[in-house]
Chain A
Amino acid sequence: MRADIRRSAVIHASAERVWATLRDFNGHESWHPAVAVSMVEDGAPPDRVGAVRNFRLRGGARIREQLLALSDRRMTFAYCILEAPEPLRNYVATLRVRPITDTGGSFVEWRSCFDPPQAERERLTRFVRDDIIDAGLASLRALFEKGTRGVAALPPQAASTARPGASGIETHEIIIARYGGPEVLQPSRGHAPEPGPGEVRMRQTAVGVNFIDVYCRRGSFNLVPPGGVPGMEAAGVVESVGPGAAGVERGDRVAYACAPPGAYTTHRTMRADSLVRLPDSLGDVEAAGLLLKGMTAGFLLHDVARVAPGAVVVVYAAAGGVGQILARWAKALGATVIGVTSSEGKAEVARRAGCDVVVVSSREAVADAVMRATAGRGADVVFDAVGRETFEASVNALATRGHLVSFGQASGDVGLRSIDQLTSRSVTLSRPNYVHYTDDAEKVRAQSERLFAAIRSGAVLVPRPRTFALSEASLAHAELESRRTTGSLALIP
């Protein structure tokens, strides 16, 4: 469905003055806080209908927009997007200025319509509404009220967290400049302080890339504010130990997979009790690619769903990072595993990961295929990290008293659903959050020991992640979101 966003504001200046500013199609660089620099292509006058403005956002993205209509009599103009890094398809915007005759001020209305991909709808709607339209209107208002560009509406500076004068070391890090696509991940300089009581500082040698980082970057989770550093998982070497930090020594090989975010950096000062000491058999890159996903699979199979021998388990994205681990580990626990993948190529990966049956979701309806494979009984547990697109099919694939474990939303937030449909088969629904299974030292120790035991027994394999330089984080995210990937990704500082 087409997104249709209308926003408006009252500006304390005459309609003629506001219109004189707005009608300059190339003038947005002087008043819109998101626009860094703009030019009209081919030297065309900016009020020539058909003119193309080519501009760069402060976040770095480049956009081309074409003037479609301009009316001085109606004080309105319309434009469309020709090129943008976001999928703002068929985007048309209209701005209109109206005089308020009883006060001498003006009313400005800004309307944007576009066709978002369903999975991106909420994020893009929020982006256009907040970062483009409302930020622009607020800045325009400030321009006429203070005679200056709306400082308050400027996005937070992509400042480093460096604290001049503090002891510690300077780091290279990746920040989320603002919520958005992979391009908002940008290199910056930060600071890792000397460890305080109970803390250590580690030099990181490998950083895990997970879907939760994508959710943080898009703003789906408000764990990382703009300007902050994402990342939940890394491995490295302890460089410096604070007072009272028990159980770790300088030179220890350690890893972590926990909140708070901040892993996309070269050095990090962390609470010592959130660290896991790595066994010699597990390399740093492998650990950074495995710890979070492996501990996730561990608590999903043992604490959330308690998968028993003979159970029928459905694993979505069975060729993905968590999916492959879930499939093999569930098989080792004695379950029958039905994997779901989006393509035939990934189906082969899922079969190698131990799936007894693989359903290619682009070819057949998942619920029907599961019912066929189970002689009409359905699955005992469905592990679904796809979210919005698969929720209904997941419920329909369950047996009586089955359990839907909805632990991710790669296709978009699950959104509002009726729970009435769960009654017809006494279905249980879980929405586990990783943080609540790993939020103290005891839980981290139990989860990591269970994972390392599963590695030793062969229930969990240790693949070599695909690696990218830390500075290529945006490339890694683009790759992860493309759904072309199988297995895990890691960044090398």
Chain B
Amino acid sequence: MAKTYASAVIPAPASAVWAVVRDFNALPAWTPFVAESRIEQNRPPDQVGCIRNFRLKDGGRIREQLVALSDYEMSFEYAILESPMGVENYVSTFKLHPITDSGHVFAEWNAEFDAAPEREGELVRHIGTNVFAAGLAMLKARFSR
């Protein structure tokens, strides 16, 4: 089982950031690597069990299923159903924590997955840096203006 993790402080109220990221179909709006996205079978994007089907800017297609969503905890979890990355049992959690002494928010994004042993290290780096850290950096830039 491999794990990867990234986190950042975003200079905005938790509710404002949560309003952007809780939309399971909004990856093109706040990440740098997704070209287009749709929810399969026209289900609402906050229906637990719905599947997002999106195309990366490099052309790869990924299908992910929303497995948990909590407006109370400001967190969601999803699992990869299909991807070109060669990962199995991939479950990811995104969570916001209000920072009470500044009014900003601390965002965490992590994943656990299985992969071929020789590819594990590269995947941990790739997902941690090019997906999670890149997404958080763009979120941070969006709210820093």
Interface residues in B14-45 (C-beta closer than 8 Å to A): none
B98, B101, B104, B137: the one within 8 Å of A102 (CB): B137
Stretch at the interface among B2-10, B76-84, B112-120: B2-10
* B9 & A103 in contact (Cβ 8 Å cutoff): yes
Q: Tell me the smallest distance from the CB of B31 to a CB of chain A, in Å.
A: 15
* B106 & A100 in contact (Cβ 8 Å cutoff): yes
A134–B101 Cα gap in the complex (Å)? Answer: 8
Interface size of B in residues (CB-CB distance below 8 Å): 19
B101, B108, B136: the one within 8 Å of A9 (CB): B101
A158–B108 Cα gap in the complex (Å)? Answer: 43
Residues of chain B contacted by A141 (CB below 8 angstroms) = 101
Is A101 at the interface (CB under 8 A from chain B)?
yes
Is B99 at the interface (CB under 8 A from chain A)?
yes
* A100 & B9 in contact (Cβ 8 Å cutoff): yes
Residues of chain A contacted by B97 (CB below 8 angstroms) = 8, 98, 107, 109
Is A10 at the interface (CB under 8 A from chain B)?
yes
A9–B9 Cα gap in the complex (Å)? Answer: 11
Is B67 at the interface (CB under 8 A from chain A)?
no
Given contacts A6-B100, A7-B101, A8-B99, contact A103 B8 (CB under 8 A): yes
Given contacts A100-B106, A107-B106, contact A8 B100 (CB under 8 A): yes
A6, A7, A100, A109: the one within 8 Å of B8 (CB): A100
Q: Tell me the smallest distance from the CB of A210 to a CB of chain B, in Å.
A: 36
- The contact string, 1 if C-beta is below 8 Å from chain B, for chain A 123-160, is 00000000000100110010000000000000000000
* A101 & B9 in contact (Cβ 8 Å cutoff): no
* B9 & A107 in contact (Cβ 8 Å cutoff): yes
* A137 & B137 in contact (Cβ 8 Å cutoff): no
- The contact string, 1 if C-beta is below 8 Å from chain A, for chain B 121-138, is 000000010000100110
Residues of chain B contacted by A101 (CB below 8 angstroms) = 5-8, 128, 133
Is A99 at the interface (CB under 8 A from chain B)?
yes
Seed contacts A9-B99, A102-B140; 13 additional CB < 8 Å A-B pairs:
A6-B100, A7-B100, A8-B98, A8-B101, A9-B102, A10-B104, A10-B106, A99-B7, A100-B8, A101-B5, A101-B7, A102-B9, A107-B9
Residues of B at the A interface (CB closer than 8 Å) are 5-9, 97-102, 104, 106, 108, 128, 133, 136-137, 140
28 of the cross-chain contacts (CB-CB < 8 Å) are A6-B100, A8-B100, A8-B101, A8-B106, A9-B99, A9-B101, A9-B102, A10-B99, A10-B102, A98-B106, A98-B108, A99-B5, A100-B9, A100-B106, A101-B6, A101-B7, A101-B8, A102-B136, A105-B9, A107-B9, A107-B97, A107-B99, A107-B106, A109-B97, A134-B101, A137-B101, A138-B101, A141-B101
